[in-house]
Each structure stands twice: as C-alpha cells, then as structure tokens.
Structure 1
Amino acid sequence: MAHFYLNELVSTAVVGDRVSIDGAEARHAVTVSRLAVGETVSIGNGRGLVVSGPVVTAEHTELAIEVAEVTEAPRVEPAIFLAQALAKGDRDKLAVQAATELGVDGVIPWTAGRSISRWEGAKVAKGHDRWTAIVREATKQSIRGWLPDVLDLVSTNQLTRLAAEVRMIVLEPTAEMALSALEPDGRDIVLVVGPEGGITPNELAAFTTAGATLVRLGDTVLRTSTAGPAAIAVLNAKLGRW
C-alpha cells in the first residue's frame, strides 16, 4: 500500500525540494509503519497538492522526502456534502469515515429531531474535533488530494436554509423518486441522512417546503451508517466521478 501523509502547511513545491512531516505523524511513520530511508512516500497539503519521492530522513521527530514528482488535483465540481444526523453507537462516525473514503467534499453534523446522540456544551467542540480527525485519517487512507471540510453543527432550521443555495437531496425510504433517477443540474449537492429513528414528518415537510428533493435508495431500509455512503456511490456514478 502506498504511504500518504498530510502537511497542510505546504503551499507549493517543485522537483528537488525537501518536504517533511513531523510530530505524531512522523513518529507513526517511523515506529509503526517502519518507513526507512529510500522508500517512496507521498505527502499532500489537503488542497490538491501531492508530492512524492524517496525518504531522505526517517527520525521520530521528522520524516522528510526529496520531491521527485508533483501533482495538482483540481477540486471536483459539483461538490457533494453529507449532512449526517448525529447518531448513537458511533454510527455517524462510521458514515463520515466511509463518505470520506468515497470522495465526499464536506460533512455537516446535524442535530435531527430523533438524534439520540447530542453535542451540547463542551461536546460541540469535542464532537467536531473527533469528526475532523476521522476525516483526516480517512483522507490519508484513501490517498485523496483534497481534505473534506467539516462544517459547524447545524439545527434543522439552519440546514433547511441551505436548500436555497444548493441542491438538497433528502434520503427517505417512502419517497416516490429513486436516487438513481435523479439527474445532475450542475449545483453543489447536500445529501441529508437522518438518524436511526428516521427523519420526522415535520422535518420532511420543512425540507420539502425549502425546495429539497426526497429520494429513496431502494426497497430496503439502510442504517444511518451505510445510507449516506451508499448514496454517495450512486451520485459518484451519476456525476461521472466513477
């Protein structure tokens, strides 16, 4: 497996430059992954720049490479954002991890009416930090040039207001339209996924009034941890990403 790390401070690079990672990432690379001088490693800045080359320094405090190749990945348009309802049992975190690996461009934590898990008080910052860490690790695992954004926690009212700016798609098992029948229109997409108990009738009405489209994935009901990633896979095919 290729080794890919992130250093968000790198803004540009050319062949022959020295680019490094430090801190916990360097320690992990040297002590866990056992990377040694001469092995090929890639380092990205999370904004499309990826540099690759042989390791020239392999210390617990720093792992550095000499750049042999530079690539710039453009940001994909239209973007796909996952508005994931907070859910119990780490199922929301599983959804965020898989969505990142599948190419989502950003995730939005949503406190839905039936969300059992809640971010309140100090939990808001803690939850956001946890999702950010999950997205970062999943980006490295999937060797993605772009690091997805983790937006602020939103209420249902705040989420519905986004429907005026983007194409909002709400997963609902009882919807008449199948997601596979939806045709792209060039707008950025916000995919809304409810918690284990589903989206409340009042929330569905609010989304519809705001201009969102209700769609179903199929004739079965998926867990909140799998519904979003499954829908992103469909959207990837519809948008020509795959």
Structure 2
Amino acid sequence: MSSLFYAADLAEHDDGSLVTVGGKEAHHALVNRLRAGESVMLGDGRGMLADATVESVSTSEIAFRLGEVRREQRPRPEVWLAQSLAKGDRDELAIQAATEVGVSGVIPLQAARSISRWTGPKLDKGVARWMTIVREASKQAIRSWVPDVTTPLAPADLVADGDLVLVLDPRASVRLADAVRAVPDDARRIVLAVGPEGGFSPDEIASLERAGAIPVVLGDTVLRTSTAGPAAIAVANVALGRW
C-alpha cells in the first residue's frame, strides 16, 4: 500500500462500496500521479481504515472501490505530547515526528521561556496550522487516527483528573522508561511535557509537581525541543510494549 487518503464518511460504507473524495484529497492524488487500478488505503482519521483500489481519477474527484473495512481502537493508555511553543519551526517539527511515531494528541504549551507566542489572531492560526501538520503526518505514516490538537494551555493548567503527566527535566532522578512501566492499567492517558529552548522554569516545574506531575529524565543527553518529544514517545512505546 503506497498511500493513505481520508474520506470523512468512510464509516457509512461497507466492503465493496464505491467511495468518492474531492478537494484536497483529489489534489493529493493528482500530485502523486495516482492511476486507476492502483492499491491504496482509505481512512476517516477517526479509526476507520480500508484497503481500496482506485476506480477513476479526475481533476475534481477520485473514486475508490473498498476492500475490507475495519475499525482500529485507540491504544490505552493514550500517549499525548504537551509541546511548548518554540521559535522557528522547531515545535512544528516536534509534532510532525510525534505523529509519525504514534502520539494520540498534542497540546500547545505557552511556557514562560517560549519565544513564540500565540495571541490574538495568531492563536486560531497556530492551532489550525498544527491540525494540518498532524493530518498530513498521519497520512504519511498510514495512521487510522489523526491526533487531536487542543487549544494552548499554560503548564500550570496541564494536569487533569485521570492523567499521568511526565515532565521532561534533565535534572530529574526518575527515568522516563521506569515511570511509564509503573503506569496503572486503568490510566486514561500519559502526557509527556516538553519545555521550550532553555526548558521549563523552576517555578513551572514546582507548580507542575504540586499539581501531581512527575519530573522525569529522558536519558544522559539533553535534546532539542524539536527532538525530545518524539524521542520520549518512542521510549514510552517500548516501555508499554507497543514497539
């Protein structure tokens, strides 16, 4: 299977159905020079996935003949990335790679040391940009679930009932892998919090600990904000037995 395309109404179709998509998905097919008879995959971004064969291609829409239609459940516990806003495209690189390695959702963090700020019109634009990034990265990785993107939070507001929040801190004494292995079976989600350039401030670490978060160290080296999150998700995947 060489490509994944999304059809919002896939859940309404059975094996053997003909499904047509247009808009950006049709443009994607044209850019990739998709031809009738090729085998691809079709999903809805919310767990549905199907083998499909291209029936026809035009400039406005693509028709697919479905093979087996199936539903994939989200893994439990879910692994989320709370990524601090960073200068340049470093935060975008982080969520792109995080999507490819299986993150269930991303939370933009307005950390004290974040140089980038989403205020006014930039807030909605930033969230929309991240939603586009995770959708395109999900297609590249052939994922049945597109990660959720929330509105920005401050680190102090990150801890929620039922969540285990692990804060990456190079000064911590608890190893990330050990913390993940100790996660209770009924945990709803694990949130990995990554600071901006310069990391979280001491006040932020302290407030997170008071709220119940656990500082953890990823390894013996200090990674950039663009690579720490994806690396932490990879470690969590191994510790959870998913990789």
TM-score normalised by the chain length of structure 2? 0.95
Match of 1:167 in 2: 164
Where do 1:64-75 residues align within 5 Å? Answer: 64-75=63-74
Match of 2:174 in 1: 177
Q: What is the alpha-carbon distance in structure 2 between the residues aligned to residue 5 and residue 146 of structure 1? A: 12
Match of 1:76 in 2: 75
Where do 1:135-150 residues align within 5 Å? Answer: 135-150=134-149
Where do 1:45-56 residues align within 5 Å? Answer: 45-56=44-55
The yes-or-no answer on 1:27 pairing with 2:27 is yes
Q: What is the alpha-carbon distance in structure 1 between the residues aligned to residue 6 and residue 100 of structure 2? A: 15
Q: What is the alpha-carbon distance in structure 2 between the residues aligned to residue 119 and residue 7 of structure 1? A: 31
Q: Is the 8 A contact 1:12 1:49 kept in 2?
A: no
Q: What is the alpha-carbon distance in structure 2 between the residues aligned to residue 218 and residue 15 of structure 1? A: 47
Q: Structure 1 residue 156: deviation in Å?
A: 2.5
Q: Is the 8 A contact 1:13 1:51 kept in 2?
A: no
Which of 72-81 and 130-139 deviates more?
Answer: 72-81
Q: Structure 1 residue 208: deviation in Å?
A: 0.6
Match of 2:97 in 1: 98
Q: What is the alpha-carbon distance in structure 2 between the residues aligned to residue 168 and residue 18 of structure 1? A: 44
Match of 1:130 in 2: 129
Structure 1: stretches of 5+ with no match in the other structure: none
RMSD: 1.2
Match of 1:229 in 2: 230
Amino acid at match of 1:4: L
Q: Secondary structure at the match of 1:185?
A: coil
Q: Is the 8 A contact 2:48 2:72 kept in 1?
A: yes
Q: Structure 1 residue 196: deviation in Å?
A: 0.8
TM-score normalised by the chain length of structure 1? 0.95
Where do 1:101-116 residues align within 5 Å? Answer: 101-116=100-115
Which of 9-18 and 103-112 deviates more?
Answer: 9-18
Q: Secondary structure at the match of 1:67?
A: strand
Q: Structure 1 residue 230: deviation in Å?
A: 0.4
Amino acid at match of 2:26: A
Q: Structure 1 residue 27: deviation in Å?
A: 1.9
Which of 61-70 and 116-125 deviates more?
Answer: 61-70
Q: What is the alpha-carbon distance in structure 1 between the residues aligned to residue 22 and residue 201 of structure 2? A: 46
Match of 1:11 in 2: 11
Q: What is the alpha-carbon distance in structure 2 between the residues aligned to residue 171 and residue 5 of structure 1? A: 35
Q: Is the 8 A contact 1:73 1:145 kept in 2?
A: yes
Q: What is the alpha-carbon distance in structure 2 between the residues aligned to residue 79 and residue 12 of structure 1? A: 26
Match of 1:43 in 2: 42
Amino acid at match of 1:181: D
* Distance of aligned partners of 1:9 and 1:15 in 2 relative to their CA distance in 1, 3 Å threshold: closer
Q: What is the alpha-carbon distance in structure 2 between the residues aligned to residue 200 and residue 27 of structure 1? A: 44
Runs of 4+ in 1 over 4 A off after TM superposition: none
> C-alpha deviations, 1:18-77, integer Å up to 9, x for none?
1122112202212x1111111112110011111222111101111111112212111111
> C-alpha deviations, 1:173-220, integer Å up to 9, x for none?
010111122222231111100001110000000011111111001121
> C-alpha deviations, 1:132-190, integer Å up to 9, x for none?
00000000000001111001111223224x2x430010000010111122222231111
Q: Is the 8 A contact 1:136 1:147 kept in 2?
A: yes
Q: What is the alpha-carbon distance in structure 2 between the residues aligned to residue 91 and residue 154 of structure 1? A: 18
Q: What is the alpha-carbon distance in structure 2 between the residues aligned to residue 120 and residue 176 of structure 1? A: 35
Structure 2: stretches of 5+ with no match in the other structure: none
